[in-house]
Amino acid sequence: MHCSSPFTTLHVHSNGFIPCCPAWFTNPEDFRVDGVFENPWDAWNHPKFVKLRQMWLDSDSSGCKHCIMLLAGSKFMDEPRHWMKPVMERGPRDVVFANDLSCNLHCWSCRSKPIIEKQQDRVFKQTYSILDTFHESIEYMSTIGSGDPFASPAWLKILQTMDMEKHKKLKIELFTNGLLIPRYWDSISHMHDNIIRIKMSIDAVSKDIYEKTRLGGKHKDLHKALEFNSKLGKEFVLNMVVQSENFTDVPLVCEKAIELGCNKVNLTMIRFWHQMRGGRAKFDEVNLARKDHPKRSDFLKMLKDNEELLKHPIINEDMILPDGHKIINF
């Protein structure tokens, strides 16, 4: 069994690099490369990445104990490809940017106050350095997992000015809360053909719950954005992070997605995040994966009552199903 991710994928953070979500590794420190690199090849072939690649070439999965794909029993390749080497000669194929925390919202699950990063020049420079250096190998980029690409001044400028002649075949995923797309869509018309997917995180559709969980977001703007974004002819995916304050909206989000013709709804359980307002205590308060959570039985009843709806082909509910299935408990 071999995993191809360390040979193909680079996650770019503001002060470092990692091949996958840090929470998936047994010990994230083992495979996180910190620092600023003038030459991105030094990051891509850093000894920590070389070590992870060698482990996978040896079918050793011990570094990836919490990987969602391993836990979900996903299929990995039987034999490594000839180009999969510890020190890679080709650059990354998939680049996932999470290098700017700037966002127009300040959801409590993500941060304790609104953030627009001051060091926009650094974000701009780092992003262009990666895109330029690896422009021959990059086929896909996702932007941005750490904030919103339309609220980040650097990312908005990158999207508005990127030379698509140089990245003709690039496929782009916009990872966003979606609210600013109606305002800026026309300003990125040169890359409309490259945008394959809009992944919009919403967490709720009812007014009270949306405005309570997505702080700074307005319910009327959400519905305007949902209508607008669903008609752009792109793969349209909704993400909902489920916890005790929004689980009653799960059926409403699913029904809305079906009504809009979405391609997918990803339902996942909330996971601890160090910048979360209220820290570990707040996480425990809302984490329905906790067996003694006072609302857990209501949550399980909601899942049972909506069994048919959750089986709809666009709903990806694997990660929230209860015992006997897979509530993932990190």
302 near ligand SF4, judged by CB under 6 A = no
Q: Which of 268, 281, 263, 264 is nearest to 327 (CA)?
A: 268
Binding region for ligand SF4 (CB under 6 A) out of 101-109, 182-190, 263-271, 317-325? 101-109
How many beta carbons lie within 10 A of that of residue 193, not counting itself? 10
Per rule CB under 6 A, is residue 105 in the interface with ligand SF4?
Answer: yes
Does 158 participate in binding ligand SF4 (rule CB under 6 A)?
Answer: no
Mark the segment that binds ligand SF4 (CB under 6 A) among 106-114, 161-169, 301-309, 319-327.
106-114
The answer to whether the CB of 255 falls within 8 A of the CB of 309 is yes
What residue has token string 């920590």? 48
- The yes or no reply on residue 123 touching ligand SF4 (CB under 6 A) is no
Q: Which stretch binds ligand SF4 (CB under 6 A): 16-24, 35-43, 126-134, 242-250?
A: 16-24
Q: What are phi and psi of 236, to 5 degrees?
A: -125, 120
Query: By CB under 6 A, is residue 106 in contact with ligand SF4?
Result: yes
Q: Which two tokens stand for residue 123?
A: 């974000």
Which alpha helices (H) appear in the chain, and where do they start and end?
5-8, 40-44, 47-57, 68-71, 120-133, 153-161, 181-184, 207-213, 219-230, 250-260, 279-286, 296-305, 307-310
Please choose, from the candidates 297, 241, 302, 299, the residue with its C-alpha nearest in 3D space to the C-alpha of residue 270. 241
Q: Interface with ligand SF4 includes 24 (CB under 6 A)? A: yes
Among 10, 84, 110, 315, binds ligand SF4 (CB under 6 A): 110
User: Whole-number minimum distance, CB 61 to ligand SF4, in Å?
Assistant: 6
d(CA 164, CA 152): 20
Tokens of 222: 């959400």
DSSP state of 63: G
**Residue from 12, 33, 43, 64 binding ligand SF4 (CB under 6 A):** 64
What distance in Å separates the CA atoms of residue 204 and residue 201, rounded to the nearest whole number? 9
Asked if residue 201 binds ligand SF4 (CB under 6 A), the reply is yes
Pick the piece of the chain touching ligand SF4 (CB under 6 A) from 85-93, 99-107, 253-261, 310-318: 99-107
Of the residues 95, 107, 138, 327, which one makes contact with ligand SF4 according to CB under 6 A: 107
Count the residues of the shown chain that bind ligand SF4, applying the rule CB under 6 A. 21
Q: Which of 33, 88, 103, 174 binds ligand SF4 (CB under 6 A)?
A: 103
Length of the chain: 330
Considering the complex, state which of residue 8 and residue 296 has its C-beta at the smaller distance from ligand SF4: 8
What distance in Å separates the CA atoms of residue 129 and residue 154, rounded to the nearest whole number? 13
Query: How many CB atoms within 10 Å of residue 58?
Result: 10
| Residue 180 engages ligand SF4 in binding (rule: CB under 6 A) | no
Q: How far is the CB of 163 from ligand SF4 (least distance, A)?
A: 27
Q: Could you list the residues that contact ligand SF4 (CB under 6 A)? A: 3, 5-6, 19-20, 24-25, 64, 67, 69-70, 103, 105-107, 110-111, 147-148, 177, 201
